[in-house]
Amino acid sequence: MYDYIKGNLAGKSNSSKGVTITVEAGGIGYLIEVTTRDYNNVKDGNLKIYTVLLHKEDRMSLCGFLQKETRDIFNILTSVSGVGTKMALTLLDEFDSSELIGFVIDGNYKEITRAKGVGQKLAQKIILELKDKLMNYQTKEPIKIETTVSLDNQALEDATTVLISLGYERKEIQNSISKALAQLDNKSSAEDILKETLKILSV
């Protein structure tokens, strides 16, 4: 229903009831639940926040993220059985998007258990289901990336597939990865490529 809300920061609250900000847009104040990471980074003045409308039995609420890719990872995380809104926000507080994706691609469940409340079984389930959603996205025509760096083709392919699954356009992916590779060396992993590429896409 809402892709993003653009307006002025009208308030912030970090309490036992949750971490929220209020964004005023068009004369309406939207109360939005955010990660502690975004809460600490949000600044006074105009901002753009990517949102998710959540339906619960007794109410509706909004979650918001400063970066589009974080919102998209949140949506994929909450589609994993056993991962609700609070758990997804906890994971995105503990890890940035590219770091979490890197653990999933590498199957590194031990690192994911660093997040509060995430045990070994849940971490393994997250990797199993999330990797399937991120890496099995099918595209009819492969995206060609121009680069002068000799890279592991699998790392490049994995990074490209994840970006496609997050909803980025082919041209966006081509341009941003090409720019990212200019900052990387031939030992870069899929996580390295994603981290640098997402920085460029978020500008």
Write the pLDDT tens digit of every residue in 101-157. Answer: 888 888 899 999 999 999 999 999 999 888 877 776 544 455 555 555 555 677 888
Residue 113 lies in a domain: yes
d(CA 149, CA 184): 8
> For 17, how many CA atoms within 13 A lie in the half-sphere containing its CB?
6
Do residues 79 and 131 make contact, with C-beta atoms less than 8 angstroms apart?
no
- Please name the residues in contact with 132: beta carbons below 8 A apart, sequence gap of 6 or more: none
pTM for the model: 0.75
- Within a domain: 141: no
Most confident of 20-24, 83-87, 174-178: 20-24
Residue 80 has pLDDT above 70, yes or no: yes
72 and 117 co-located in one domain: yes
- Number of structural domains (the chain) is 3
Q: How far apart are CA 83 and CA 200, in angstroms?
A: 29
Q: Please check whether residue 142 lies inside any domain of the structure.
A: no
* Residue where a domain terminates, one of 50, 65, 80: 65
> Does 143 reside within a domain?
no
Q: 81: phi > 0 → left, psi -120 to 50 → alpha, else beta; which?
A: beta
- Answer yes or no: do 112 and 79 share one domain: yes
Residue that terminates a domain, selected from 135, 162, 181 = 135
Domain finish residue from 105, 135, 165: 135
Residues 61 and 89 placed together within one structural domain of the fold:
no
Please tell me the total number of residues recorded for the chain in this structure: 203
Where does the chain have alpha helices with state H?
36-41, 68-77, 85-94, 97-106, 109-112, 120-135, 153-165, 170-181, 190-201
CATH of the domain at 180: 1.10.8
Same domain, 15 and 41: yes
Domain that holds residue 123: 68-135
- Greatest alpha-carbon pair distance for the chain in Å reads 55
The verdict on residue 25 lying in a domain is yes
3-state secondary structure of 38: helix
Average pLDDT for residues 176-199, to the nearest whole number? 83
Q: Are residues 31 and 56 in the same domain?
A: yes
